[in-house]
Amino acid sequence: MTNSTNWITVCQESDLVANSGVCALINEQQIALFKVKNAGQEQLFAISNWDPIGEANVLYRGLLCSVGDTVAVASPLYKQRFCLSSGTCLDSDDVTIKVYPIRLENQAVQLQVSQ
């Protein structure tokens, strides 16, 4: 449910790096934030920063890639790719990571986190 009360601001748009990632800490949870420039459009994504295969908080340091129409990040540890919009791992069927709703409100980057 999209309800403006639980959107929280994590940083400014200028803190993001085009076609790359940064990481935010919210309620002790690490969340990787990506800004992807695709055909003139800018899209934001937020996923868990925890790489469940490499077992480390590193996903924001991965390389962005497109696989057909899917936009994904490749873990810097062992290169498994995770879809930025669904969180599914493209290289391992039974692994999925959490994704978070993200939006831009007047230059502020906001996330919707469950309370």
Partner 1 sequence: MSTSAQATNSQLRIVVVGNGMVGHHFVDQLIEHNTSVGADNSALHISVLSAEPRLAYDRVHLSEFFSGKSADELALTTPEYYQQHKIDYKLNAAVTHIDKVAKTVTTVQGEVLSYNKLILATGSYPFVPPIPGNDQPHCLVYRTIEDLEAISASSKVSKIGVVVGGGLLGLEAANALKEAGLETHVVEFAPQLMAVQVDGGGGRLLRSKIEALGVKVHTQKATQTIEAGDVCRYKMCFADGSFLETDMILFSAGIRPQDKLAREFDIAIGERGGIVVDNHCQTNIDDIYAIGECALWNNFIFGLVAPGYTMARVAAAHILGGDQTFLGADMSTKLKLMGVEVGSIGDAHAKTAGALCYTYENQASAVYKKMVVDSSKKKLIGAVLVGDTSDYDTLLQYALNGIDLPEHPEALILPASGGAKPGLGADALPATATICSCHNVSKGDIIAAFDGGACSLSDIKSCTKASSGCGGCSALLKSVCDAELSKRGVEVKKDICEHFAYSRQELFHLVKVGKLQTFDELLTKHGKGLGCEVCKPAAANILASVWNEFILKPDHVSLQDTNDTYLGNMQKDGTYSIIPRIAGGEITPDKLIVLGQVGKKYNLYTKITGGQRIDLFGARVDQLPEIWKILIDAGFETGHAYAKSLRTVKSCVGSTWCRYGVQDSVGQAIELENRYKGLRSPHKLKFAVSGCTRECAEAQSKDIGIIATENGWNLYVCGNGGMKPRHADLFATDLDTETLVKYIDRVLMFYVRTADRLQRTSVWMENLEGGLEYLKQVVIEDSLGLGAELESQMQVVVDAYQCEWKTAIENEESRKRFRQFVNSDKADTNIVFVEERQQIRPATPEEKASFTQQQQAKRIAVELV
Residue 94 beta carbon to partner 1: minimum distance, rounded to whole angstroms: 19
Residue 98 beta carbon to partner 1: minimum distance, rounded to whole angstroms: 16
Which residue from 48, 62, 110, 112 is in contact with partner 1, where contact means CB under 8 A?
A: 62
**Beta carbon nearer to partner 1, 1 or 14:** 14
56 binds partner 1 (CB under 8 A): yes
Q: Where are the alpha helices (DSSP H) in 14-77?
A: none
Q: Is there a contact between 65 and 74 (Cβ–Cβ < 8 Å)?
A: yes
Residue 65 beta carbon to partner 1: minimum distance, rounded to whole angstroms: 3
Compute the chain's Rg from CA coordinates.
Answer: 13
DSSP helix, strand, coil percent of the chain (3-state; round to 5): 10, 55, 35
From 88, 110, 109, 115, select the one nearest 99 (Cα to Cα).
Answer: 88
> Where on the chain is the footprint of partner 1 (CB under 8 A)?
10-11, 15-20, 22-26, 28, 30, 33, 36, 38, 50, 54-58, 61-68, 71, 74, 76-77, 79, 81
